[in-house]
Homo-oligomer: A and B are copies of this chain.
Amino acid sequence: MRKKTLHRKALTIESGEAASKGEQTRSLILETALEMFGERGYEETTMRAIAEKAGIAQGATYYHFRSKEHLIQAYYERMHELHQESCAEVLKKERTLKGRLFGVMSQILDNMEPYHQFAGILFKTAADPQSPLNPFSPESEPARRASVELFAEVLKGARTKMPPDLEAEAPMLLWLYHMGIVLFWIHDSSPKQRRTRRLMERTVEIVVRLIQLVSLPPMSPLRKSVLRLLTDLREEAS
C-alpha cells in the first residue's frame, strides 16, 4: 500500500537506517514544496522558489519530480495514507452501517480540511483526462482500488444485510458517493465547509435508507438492471 518513498522515509525516521542521498533530497524537496504551497498557494509558488528554499538547483527538482504536478501527486498519496489510518479506529468501534459510513466520511472531511484551498488546484489537475492524477486513469488504479477497499470495509463490518448482487457492487457505489461529496466540498466556500458537513450528514442517512429500500423484493427488477449496467460497463472497459 505504502509508496516506496514514504516507506523509506519512515524507515529513516523510525529506525535510523540511512536513506540514500537521492531519497533525502527528494524528501527535502517535497517537504519544502508542500510547506510553501500551504503558505503561498500552488500557482504562486514557483519551482525556482522551491529549489532556492530547499537549497538546491532547479534542475535537481526536475530530476526527482517529473513536473510541478507530480509534487501534488505526492501530497495525494500522503492524504490517502492518512485516511486509511484514521478510519481504522472508527471502523473498530462502529457496528451500524450508518455509524460506520458517517464515521469514515467525517474522518475524510477532517483530514482534508487544512488543504481546502489547495485541493481546488489538485482537483483541477486531477480532472484532466490525460493526467495520471486523474482518479479514473489506469495509473491511479491501485489508489482507486485501495479507496474502494475502504468502503468495502465499511460494509463488511456492518450488521446490515443486503442481496448478494448488490453486495458485490456496493463498495464501488459508496466510493462514487464519496467522490460526489468531495466534489461538493471542493466547491464549497462556506466557512469551514459547513455546508458539506450538513450535506454529508443528511445524505449518509439517505444512502442507508436507499440501500435498505433497494434490497426489498419489489425493487429487484430496478436493482438488477442498474447492477447489470455496472458490470457491463466494467466488462466493456477491458
Contact = CB atoms under 8 A, between A and B. Distances in A.
Tally of this chain's copies: 2
A222 interface: yes
B195 A233 contact: yes
Nearest to A202: B229
Contact of A229 (B203, B226, B233): B203
B195 A236 contact: yes
Contacts of A213: 222
Most interface-central of A125, A129, A187, A203 (chain B CB within 10 A)? A129
A136 to B, nearest CB: 5
B120 A199 contact: no
Contacts of A233: 195, 198-199
A128 interface: yes
A120 B124 contact: no
Interface in A48-105: none
Given A202-B229, A206-B229, A229-B206, A236 B190 contact: yes
